[in-house]
């Protein structure tokens, strides 16, 4: 297929971005690389010396590794929301953000399970999950659900990128080197944009987007059941699955908005990622925030009102200023009310305002996962009569921080390198529309609404 003039014009716009790095980008890569090496060092140390160098002990057996695990799987919902729900609803404005969302999904679904591995005492026995796997265990459900979800998300990302690979393959742009061409030729899998291929691709994408929604819901439900199935105060709750799902979409949308903001700013994509995208996603964020607040209220109100001994014990710890009070306030009040207010008030409903709201959401959701895991583990049914302070109170060690920041760094790196291989805005989607200006189809669409 020959690229049209408009395609070439679009490529002209995106290829320099993909092939050249600014100084800021280079600094970012170096910083993230160093963080990754720091994490690698911590990991080697942890394997060599055992988990005693983490803050985890017999009561708090799961620390921030599990917090990070839930957090990353949670933000993977960005893709499920955009590619699944918005695709099926045929929402036109999703087109420029579809790739950012799908990349978030794939990276975080790969990163999340790594934290489970970090939490495992015997990494060398990973094969036991296959050799001796028991379907009765929620961990097995999790392994099955996450792998299926990851494969589904990867297929979706791939299908949505094939037309762009084809465009890049056929491009005459001299900035695209030989090895890049070879890469695009391989991944374009012979796509030439014929009528039949286009139909098949659309069918495939529709099927995957339908499949990915129940899959995404299942992944986080199963994840919540790891906690919900135990007889622990604060965990043994019937609403845990929907609660986790809502919190996951909430944080996923937040990360998506932040990623959009960053790409818009550093790749100068103002004419693609417009204020209206932020506003629409902001409103979705507001609705999700309200839903999350509702679940939170319902969860703690029933626990407090029913006032079962252990449940109450836990809730008092959450409200105690000297224990988890500040964190609880941040996760349950600030993390809900502040974003809702910022987005609800027209004056603050700007790109920067919505991004700040998203930053609050994302951090609050991390803290939320922390106060789900740690306080419950610090509230065993039998008293903790132990003179060892580290067994009674969990405190995060540098090893755990190193591996956490290393994970975030890998997230950035992965994202950065992805944007170097494919245009972060799907070109093909813009070629297909018949408007002369890139992104103007969007404007028309949005103006009609």
**Interface residues toward another protein, by CB under 8 A:** 49-52, 56-59, 61-62, 116, 119-122, 125-126, 128-129, 131-134, 136-140, 143, 226-227, 229-232, 377, 380-388
To the nearest whole angstrom, how small is the minimum distance from the Cβ of residue 133 to another protein? 7
Using the minimum distance from each CB to another protein, give the nearer residue, 60 or 255.
60
Radius of gyration of the chain (CA): 23
Could you say which DSSP state residue 121 is in?
A: S
To the nearest whole angstrom, how small is the minimum distance from the Cβ of residue 49 to another protein? 7
Using the minimum distance from each CB to another protein, give the nearer residue, 310 or 421.
310
Using the minimum distance from each CB to another protein, give the nearer residue, 125 or 268.
125
- For residue 24, CA distances in Å to 20, 21, 269, 357 come to 12, 8, 17, 25
Residues 6+ apart with CB under 8 A from 264: 270, 272, 273, 351
To the nearest whole angstrom, how small is the minimum distance from the Cβ of residue 439 to another protein? 48
To the nearest whole angstrom, how small is the minimum distance from the Cβ of residue 132 to another protein? 4
Q: Rounded to whole angstroms, how far apart are CA atoms 428 and 407? A: 32
To the nearest whole angstrom, how small is the minimum distance from the Cβ of residue 308 to another protein? 10
To the nearest whole angstrom, how small is the minimum distance from the Cβ of residue 326 to another protein? 24
Two structure tokens written together for 367: 């803290």
Two structure tokens written together for 49: 């010396």
* 289 C-beta neighbours (distance < 10 Å), count: 28
Ordered alpha helix ranges (H), 188-320: 195-228, 240-266, 275-306, 309-319
To the nearest whole angstrom, how small is the minimum distance from the Cβ of residue 143 to another protein? 8
Using the minimum distance from each CB to another protein, give the nearer residue, 29 or 143.
143
Cβ atoms 281, 339 nearer than 8 A: no
Using the minimum distance from each CB to another protein, give the nearer residue, 61 or 408.
61
Cβ atoms 411, 108 nearer than 8 A: yes
Using the minimum distance from each CB to another protein, give the nearer residue, 132 or 305.
132
Using the minimum distance from each CB to another protein, give the nearer residue, 337 or 381.
381
| Tokens 């951090």 -> residue | 363
From the number of C-beta atoms within 10 Å of its C-beta (0-12, 13-18, 19+), residue 22 rates as: exposed
Using the minimum distance from each CB to another protein, give the nearer residue, 226 or 431.
226
Cβ atoms 278, 257 nearer than 8 A: yes
Using the minimum distance from each CB to another protein, give the nearer residue, 308 or 437.
308
CA 16 and chain centroid, separation: 28
Phi/psi for 137 (5° steps) reads -90, 130
To the nearest whole angstrom, how small is the minimum distance from the Cβ of residue 63 to another protein? 10
Using the minimum distance from each CB to another protein, give the nearer residue, 126 or 200.
126
Ordered alpha helix ranges (H), 20-97: 23-49, 64-75, 77-79, 87-88
3-class secondary structure, 424: coil
Ordered alpha helix ranges (H), 50-137: 64-75, 77-79, 87-88, 98-119, 128-131
To the nearest whole angstrom, how small is the minimum distance from the Cβ of residue 318 to another protein? 18
* 135 C-beta neighbours (distance < 10 Å), count: 7
To the nearest whole angstrom, how small is the minimum distance from the Cβ of residue 122 to another protein? 4
Using the minimum distance from each CB to another protein, give the nearer residue, 133 or 326.
133
Q: Rounded to whole angstroms, how far apart are CA atoms 329 and 209? A: 37
To the nearest whole angstrom, how small is the minimum distance from the Cβ of residue 55 to another protein? 11
Ordered alpha helix ranges (H), 307-397: 309-319, 325-328, 335-344, 351-377, 389-392
């Amino acid at each position: 297929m020959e690229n049209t003039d408009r395609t070439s014009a679009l490529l002209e716009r995106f290829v320099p971005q993909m092939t050249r790095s600014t100084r800021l980008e280079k600094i970012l890569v170096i910083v993230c690389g160093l963080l990754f090496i720091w994490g690698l060092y911590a990991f080697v140390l942890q394997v060599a010396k055992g988990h005693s160098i983490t803050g985890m002990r017999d009561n708090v057996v799961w620390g921030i590794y599990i917090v990070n695990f839930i957090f990353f799987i949670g933000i993977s919902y960005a893709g499920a929301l955009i590619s699944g729900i918005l695709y099926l609803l045929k929402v036109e404005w999703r087109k420029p953000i579809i790739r950012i969302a799908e990349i978030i999904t794939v990276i975080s679904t790969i990163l999340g399970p790594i934290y489970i591995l970090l939490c495992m005492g015997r990494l060398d026995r990973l094969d036991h999950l296959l050799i001796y796997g028991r379907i009765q265990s929620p961990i097995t459900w999790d392994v099955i659900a996450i792998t299926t979800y990851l494969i589904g998300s990867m297929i979706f990302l791939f299908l949505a990128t094939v037309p762009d690979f084809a465009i890049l393959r056929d491009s005459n742009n001299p900035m695209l080197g030989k090895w890049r061409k070879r890469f695009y030729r391989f991944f374009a899998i012979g796509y030439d944009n014929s009528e039949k291929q286009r139909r098949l691709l659309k069918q495939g994408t529709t099927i995957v987007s339908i499949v990915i929604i129940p899959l995404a819901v299942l992944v986080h439900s199963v994840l919540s059941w790891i906690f919900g199935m135990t007889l622990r105060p604060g965990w043994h709750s019937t609403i845990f699955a929907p609660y986790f799902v809502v919190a996951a979409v909430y944080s996923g949308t937040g990360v998506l908005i932040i990623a959009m903001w960053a790409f818009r700013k550093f790749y100068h994509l103002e004419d693609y990622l417009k204020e209206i995208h932020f506003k629409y996603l902001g409103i979705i964020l507001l609705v999700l925030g309200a839903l999350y607040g509702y679940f939170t209220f319902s969860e703690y109100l029933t626990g407090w009102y029913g006032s079962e001994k252990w449940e109450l014990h836990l809730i008092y710890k959450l409200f105690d200023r000297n224990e988890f009070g500040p964190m609880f306030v941040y996760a349950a009040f600030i993390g809900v009310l502040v974003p809702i207010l910022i987005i609800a008030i027209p004056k603050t409903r700007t790109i920067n305002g919505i991004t700040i709201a998203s930053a609050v959401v994302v951090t609050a959701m991390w803290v939320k996962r922390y106060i789900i895991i740690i306080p419950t583990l610090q509230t065993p049914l039998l008293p903790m009569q132990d003179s060892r302070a580290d067994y009674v109170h969990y405190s995060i060690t540098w090893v755990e921080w190193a591996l956490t920041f290393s994970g975030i760094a890998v997230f950035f790196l992965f994202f950065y390198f992805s944007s170097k291989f494919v245009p972060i805005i799907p070109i093909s989607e813009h070629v297909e529309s018949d408007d002369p200006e890139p992104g103007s189809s969007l404007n028309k669409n949005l103006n009609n609404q």
